[in-house]
């Protein structure tokens, strides 16, 4: 704006570059570790540049698995994570679009009661009620199933609030106009509300996909079979307290693979991601 | 708040609400009420009989030093993570808010750790600071620090704080940047004309105008430290050494695991539940005030 801009800009570049370094260094080190062999790492001789075992390590971890702790190949863990994240994201969108439509576009007794029943769940994460929820899921025979992984995490108010907020901004004239055209609630929903909500839906999808992919405690409790493990759980089982038994290059390759999909989503869909984040939280 | 144009009928809205209400009742209200109920029950050592004991579980809980320790741990952990991640993020956001060439690239490069799972962030930091093979741990040791988070509780706490802060900077950065960009440029230009230097401008104009964002982030960060850091603690320290990094949520999990102390674990859940509800209430009261400006 004014003054000695150049000095200020130079300082800003330096500070931002340091920030990027702080943010990126742990990940770079993980990438490097995933490209060397175990003895190099265990001896503490890990250099700062990638080594020759990159392809071998990733091939082995994706399709064969580690030799010790979890024998499951990571490709199948990634599939589990993907199914769970997708089910959570889509499930949340479907149930919350429907309930928000009912709350905003209908007048019926107990409308506000229904809204408050949903609203109260806003800030209470599954961690608080973890064991009773586990018991419900096990009584319903949903342990080690995709339903068990996804459905309990769908129960939250974020999406409903977001859609309610958005629907309130849709002008009433649109409903009146589509009424004149002879449209009922279903046609109005399908032809007007959903097309207008596409960006909001996409933004919520991005946020919820990341949320689902990164789940930890819940899948840790309710998956007992190795074949149902998600990748975030898989890596935890690869890291054994005794250093000598941990196959670090494979564990680090798994960490890279676990970060890849959500980070990719954030970078490629940055605008949707920012929109989703800012709007779901406010 | 209500639309002026709407549909009427009861069956259709009931059907539309049914999926969400059913899932919320089965997986939220039922387990939450079970937690409250269980917190009043005591099972004997063999799991044969269960008695209704009123507040005995709560009394036992508060008579154990371990629970106070978890409170203190949570307080230390949240204080450090909030202060560090908020101030570092604010610094980066102020820098990125200058109309720099390439500012968007920096923004992208700073926000992606949001997408890293807490448990994975824990693994990355564990690897760097592993006492025998970690690169940074060796650096510390060569400086003469007997770095060993497996034995030293303070080292373990420092490590989980670092990992949790690293993961949270991106989130705070995004919100601070959005907050800064919404401050009208004319206000700052007026201060420039009055001759206020950059530092003075920041503390007397920008920072006060940013306070709604800061307060909002403070609440979100506390909730983050309370719950989302479970994955970090579990992968980095497992609550150890000897409970030095056991937070309130982690204790709910470790006490209830294997069904050893379900009543005590449920009582802890209820206390946490009340704390979160209180925080939510404070936040909403605040938002209400903001709306009425």
In this predicted model, what pLDDT tens digit does every residue of A54-85 receive, in sequence order? 888 888 888 877 766 556 788 888 999 999 99
Chosen from B1, B2, B4, B7 to mutate, greatest number of chain A CBs within 10 A: B7
Query: Of the ranges A205-214, A256-265, B46-55, B71-80, which one carries the lowest mean pLDDT score?
Result: B46-55
| A106 strand-pairing partners | B7
Quick check: A265 contacting B, CB < 8 Å? yes
The CA distance from A49 to A236, in Å, is 25
Q: Tell me what pLDDT residue B46 has.
A: 62
Question: Chain B residue with minimal CA distance to A160?
Answer: B20
Q: Is B50 helix (H, G, I), strand (E, B) or coil?
A: strand
**Chain B contact set for A106 (CB, 8 A):** 6-9, 12-13, 16
Q: Which of B17, B112, B120 sits opposite A258 (nearest CB)?
A: B120
Tokens of B245: 């990094």
Residues of A with Cβ-Cβ distance to B35 under 8 angstroms: 128-129, 131-132
User: What residue of B is the nearest CA neighbor of A41?
Assistant: B133
CA distance A245 to chain B (A): 13
Residue B32: which of A46, A108, A129 has the nearest Cβ?
A129
**Interface contacts A/B by beta carbons within 8 Å:** 292
Yes or no, beta carbons of A19 and B123 under 8 Å apart: no
Compute the average pLDDT of residues B14-40.
Answer: 87
Distance from CA of A83 to the nearest CA of B (A): 17
Q: Which of A121, A172, A215 has its CB closest to that of B28?
A: A121
Provide the pLDDT confidence category of residue A122 given band limits of 50, 70 and 90.
confident
A70 to chain B, minimum CA–CA distance in Å? 16
Span B249-273, pLDDT tens digits? 888 888 877 666 777 888 888 888 8
Confidence of residue B1 (pLDDT cuts 50, 70, 90): low
**Rounded to a whole number, what is the distance in Å from the CA of B203 to chain A's nearest CA?**
17
With CB atoms and an 8 Å threshold, state whether A106 touches B8.
Answer: yes
User: CB within 8 A of B163, min separation 6: which ones?
Assistant: B121, B122, B124, B125, B126, B232, B236
- Predicted local distance difference test score (pLDDT) of residue B287: 60
Q: What pairs with residue B42 in β-bridges?
A: B51
Closest listed residue to residue A21, CA positions, set B166, B95, B143 = B166
With beta carbons less than 8 A apart as the criterion, state whether A156 and A92 touch.
yes
In a 10 Å sphere around its CB, with 0-12 CB exposed, 13-18 middle and 19+ buried, how is residue A83 labelled?
A: middle
Does position B291 have pLDDT exceeding 50, yes or no? no
Alpha-carbon Rg for chain A, nearest whole angstrom, is: 24
Domains in chain A, start-ordered, CATH in brackets? 66-281 (1.10.3720.10)
Beta partners for B7?
A106
- Between CA B131 and CA B128 the distance in angstroms is 9
Q: What distance in Å separates residue B3's CA from the closest CA in chain A?
A: 7
Burial grade of A171 (CB within 10 A; 0-12, 13-18, 19 or more): exposed
In Å, how far is B198's CA from the nearest CA of chain A? Answer: 9
Q: Would you say B268 and A127 are in contact if contact means Cβ atoms under 8 Å apart? A: no
| pLDDT score recorded for residue A275 | 79
CA distance A45 to B134: 10
Using the Cβ of A111 and the Cβ atoms of chain B, whether some distance falls under 8 Å is answered with yes
Q: Can you tell me which residue has the tokens 């824990």?
A: B122
Q: Cα(A156)–Cα(B96) distance, rounded to whole angstroms? A: 34
Q: Which helix (H) or strand (E) holds A159?
A: helix A158-169
The answer to whether residues B114 and B170 touch, using CB atoms and an 8 Å cutoff, is yes
Say if residue B208's pLDDT is above 50: yes
Domain boundaries, chain B: 64-291
- Copy the structure tokens of residue A149: 């992984």
Q: Residues near A158 by Cβ (< 8 Å), separated by ≥ 6?
A: A92, A96, A122, A204, A280
Kindly state the helix (H) or strand (E) to which residue A189 belongs, with its residue range. none
- Chain B within 8 Å of A129 (Cβ-Cβ)? yes
What's the mean per-residue pLDDT of chain B? 84
Runs of H (alpha helix) within chain B: 11-24, 30-38, 56-63, 65-97, 103-111, 118-128, 135-142, 153-181, 185-193, 198-201, 207-209, 211-223, 230-236, 248-256, 262-291
Model confidence band, residue B292 (pLDDT cutoffs 50, 70, 90): very low
**Contact assessment for residue B245 and residue B157, using Cβ atoms and an 8 Å cutoff:** yes
Contact (CB<8Å) B27/A20: no
- For residue A64, the tally of other CB atoms under 10 A from its CB is 14
Q: Do B118 and A216 touch (CB under 8 A)?
A: yes
**Angstroms from B15 CA to nearest CA on chain A:** 9
Q: Are strands B41-43 and B50-52 parallel, antiparallel or unpaired?
A: antiparallel
Q: Which of A129-138, B43-52, B210-219 has the lowest mean pLDDT?
A: B43-52
Residue B163 scores a pLDDT above 60: yes
Gap from A182 CA to chain B (nearest CA, Å): 13
CB contact under 8 A, B95 and A16: yes
A251 vs B contacts (CB less than 8 Å):
123
**Mean pLDDT, range B141-149, rounded to an integer:** 81
For domain B64-291, give the CATH number. 1.10.3720.10
Backbone angle region of A31, left / alpha / beta, with phi > 0 → left and psi within -120 to 50 → alpha:
alpha
CB distance from A235 to chain B under 8 Å?
yes
- Scanning A47-86 for CB atoms below 8 A from B yields none
Q: Is the pLDDT of residue B227 over 90?
A: no
- List CB contacts of A140: < 8 A, sequence separation 6 or more: A148
Of A193-202, A208-217, B216-225, least confident by mean pLDDT is B216-225
Contact B117 A266 (CB under 8 A): no
Residue of B108, B134, B252 lying closest to A270 (CB–CB): B108
Find the helix or strand (DSSP H, E) in which A45 lies: none
Least confident of A86-100, A214-228, A229-243, B63-77: A229-243
Q: What is the pLDDT of residue A67?
A: 67
- Own/partner pairs, B2-6, CB within 8 angstroms, 24+ separation: B2/A107, B3/A104, B3/A105, B3/A168, B3/A172, B3/A175, B4/A172, B5/A172, B5/A175, B5/A176, B5/A179, B6/A105, B6/A106, B6/A107, B6/A175
Confidence tier at A242 by pLDDT (50, 70, 90): low
pLDDT for residue A43 is more than 90 = no
In this prediction, residue B125 has a pLDDT band, given cuts at 50, 70 and 90, of very high
CA separation for the pair B2, B234 (Å, rounded)? 46
């Amino acid at each position: 704006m004014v003054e000695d801009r150049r000095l200020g800009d130079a300082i800003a570049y330096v500070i931002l570059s340091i920030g990027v370094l702080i943010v990126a260094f742990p990940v770079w080190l993980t990438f490097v570790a995933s490209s060397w062999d175990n003895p190099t790492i265990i001896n503490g001789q890990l250099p700062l540049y990638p080594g020759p075992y990159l392809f071998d390590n990733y091939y082995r971890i994706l399709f064969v698995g580690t030799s010790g702790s979890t024998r499951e190949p990571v490709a199948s863990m990634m599939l589990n994570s993907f199914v769970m994240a997708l089910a959570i994201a889509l499930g949340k969108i479907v149930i919350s679009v429907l309930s928000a439509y009912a709350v905003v576009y209908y007048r019926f007794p107990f409308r506000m009661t229904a809204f408050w029943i949903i609203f109260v769940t806003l800030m209470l994460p599954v961690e608080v009620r973890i064991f009773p929820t586990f018991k419900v899921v096990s009584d319903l025979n949903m342990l080690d199933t995709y339903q068990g992984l996804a459905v309990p995490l769908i129960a939250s108010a974020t999406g409903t609030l977001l859609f309610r907020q958005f629907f309130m901004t849709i002008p009433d004239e649109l409903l009146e106009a589509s009424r004149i055209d002879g449209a009922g609630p279903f046609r109005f929903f399908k032809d007007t509300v959903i097309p207008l909500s596409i960006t909001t839906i996409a933004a919520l999808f991005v946020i919820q996909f990341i949320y689902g992919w990164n789940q930890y405690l819940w899948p840790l409790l309710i998956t007992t079979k190795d074949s149902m493990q998600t990748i975030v759980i898989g890596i935890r089982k690869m890291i054994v307290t005794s250093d000598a038994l941990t196959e670090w290059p494979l564990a680090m390759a798994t960490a890279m693979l676990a970060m890849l999909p959500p980070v990719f989503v954030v970078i490629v869909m940055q605008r949707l991601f920012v929109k989703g984040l800012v709007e779901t939280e406010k | 708040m209500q639309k002026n144009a709407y549909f009427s009928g009861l069956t259709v809205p009931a059907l539309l609400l049914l999926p969400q209400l059913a899932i919320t009742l089965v997986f939220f209200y039922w387990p939450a009420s079970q937690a409250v109920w269980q917190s009043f029950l005591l099972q004997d050592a063999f799991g044969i009989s269960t008695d209704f004991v009123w507040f005995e579980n709560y009394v036992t809980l508060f008579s154990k030093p371990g629970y106070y320790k978890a409170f203190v741990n949570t307080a230390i952990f949240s204080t450090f993570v909030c202060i560090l991640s908020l101030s570092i993020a604010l610094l980066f956001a102020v820098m990125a808010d200058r109309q720099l060439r390439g500012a968007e690239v920096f923004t992208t490069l700073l926000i992606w750790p949001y997408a890293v799972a807490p448990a994975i962030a824990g693994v990355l930091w564990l690897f760097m600071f592993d006492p025998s093979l970690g690169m940074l741990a060796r650096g510390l040791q060569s400086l003469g620090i007997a770095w060993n988070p497996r034995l030293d509780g303070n080292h373990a706490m420092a490590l989980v704080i670092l990992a949790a802060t690293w993961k949270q900077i991106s989130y705070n950065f995004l919100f601070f940047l959005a907050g800064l960009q919404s401050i009208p440029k004319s206000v700052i230009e007026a201060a420039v004309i009055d001759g206020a230097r950059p530092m003075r401008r920041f503390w007397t104009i920008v920072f006060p105008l940013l306070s709604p964002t800061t307060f909002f982030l403070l609440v979100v960060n506390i909730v983050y430290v309370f719950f989302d850091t479970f994955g970090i603690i579990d992968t980095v320290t497992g609550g150890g050494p000897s409970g030095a990094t056991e937070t309130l949520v982690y204790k709910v999990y470790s006490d209830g695991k294997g069904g050893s102390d379900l009543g005590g674990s449920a009582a802890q859940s209820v206390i946490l539940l009340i704390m979160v509800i209180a925080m939510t209430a404070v936040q909403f009261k605040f938002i209400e005030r903001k709306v009425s400006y």
